[in-house]
Amino acid sequence: MNQPVAHPQGTLGVVELRIPSKAEWVAVARLAVAAVANRLNFSIEDIEDVKLAVAEACTNCIQHAEGSGQIQITCETGPDGLTVRVCDFGGSARPEGIRSRRADEPTVGGLGVFLIRSLMDSVEYDVNPDRGTNLVMTKKVAH
Amino acid sequence: MDIKVDVRESKGDSYVVDLNGEIDVYTSPKVKDAIGELIDKGHYNLVINLEKVRYIDSTGLGVLIGGLKRVREHGGTVNLVCTNPQIKKIFDITGLVKIFGIYDDEDAAMQALV
């Protein structure tokens, strides 16, 4: 069941999901991506990391942007791991919403991107008032 | 996906909040309301039991931090009960282990309130 399926082009496959930009749908996104990660050779701990990172990215879209009302999550699976792209189509994201911060002082909020950066191997994001937020993160499979 | 919240009185004027389920952007308002209601009633020493919490994200952490800030203004504190390694890891990497008292069982968390 959990054996990765080889793909002729070197990638294992692409899985796309589009959810309404509403809090009640974040659980669907994180569980779907966890199921994708489960198809690869990730440890249970790594799957939990990916799950939380994706949820944080979706939550960030919901809390800090006024987009089209949809969030697209694209998972690209490869032999080395998983790349997840989360974008929210042309919202007016506020830059302060993507600032990462460590919780050395008790503050509310701002932990989301810090968690994503801590849990994933690489994270890139582009925030544009016209294009919206586009966050790409990668988790490598430990060989 | 939901969170079950139970509040019960314990020793002295302390209260225990038992949480069961997943705390995320959708469910955290329910937790925030329960903690806020206790604080509004003047209860400033709380144990929040996360033993049955399977998942927590930054919005859940934010609710706990917000509760801690409010009770500290009145000389109170919030101690946590947490045994789930994945959740402990989240508290560790965010540095929240330095802010909250985190205990393996409710008795220890309760004793540390006094």
User: Three-state secondary structure along A68-95?
Assistant: CCEEEEEEEEECCEEEEEEECCCCCCCH
Of A27, A51, A106, the CB nearest to B68: A106
Mutation for testing the A interface, residue in B3, B25, B99 having most A CBs under 10 Å: B25
Q: Do B49 and A11 touch, CB atoms closer than 8 A? A: no
Query: How far is residue B40's CA from residue B72's CA, in Å, rounded to a whole number?
Result: 13
pLDDT band at A55 (very low <50, low <70, confident <90, very high): very high
Interface of B with A in 49-108 (CB under 8 A): 55, 57-59, 61-62, 65-66, 68-69, 72, 86, 89-90, 93-96, 98-99
Q: Which residue has the higher pLDDT, A97 or B43?
A: B43
Q: pLDDT at residue A98 above 70?
A: no
CA distance B23 to chain A (A): 10
pLDDT band at A19 (very low <50, low <70, confident <90, very high): very high
Query: How far is residue A142's CA from residue B77's CA, in Å, rounded to a whole number?
Result: 40
For chain A, the residues whose C-beta falls within 8 A of a C-beta of chain B are 23-24, 26-27, 30, 45, 48, 51-52, 55-56, 59, 62-63, 102-104, 106-112, 114-115, 118-119
- pLDDT tens, residue by residue, A107-124: 334 789 899 999 999 999
What residue in B sits closest to A116 (Cα-Cα)?
B58
Q: Domains (ranges, CATH) in chain A? A: 14-140 (3.30.565.10)
Q: Domains (ranges, CATH) in chain B? A: 3-111 (3.30.750.24)
Q: Which residue has the higher pLDDT, A142 or B72?
A: B72
The answer to whether the CB atoms of A59 and B62 lie below 8 A apart is no
Q: pLDDT at residue A72 above 70?
A: yes
pLDDT band at A67 (very low <50, low <70, confident <90, very high): low
Query: How far is residue B1's CA from residue B21's CA, in Å, rounded to a whole number?
Result: 7
User: In tens digits, what is the pLDDT along chain B, a chain of 114 residues?
Assistant: 689 999 999 988 899 999 999 999 999 999 999 999 999 999 999 999 999 999 999 999 999 999 999 999 999 999 999 999 999 999 999 999 999 999 999 999 999 986
Rounded mean pLDDT, A3-22: 75
Q: pLDDT at residue A8 above 90?
A: no
Q: pLDDT at residue A91 above 70?
A: no
The answer to whether the CB atoms of B95 and A56 lie below 8 A apart is no
Q: Do A124 and A136 touch, CB atoms closer than 8 A? A: yes
Strand partners, A16: A74
What residue in A sits closest to B57 (Cα-Cα)?
A52
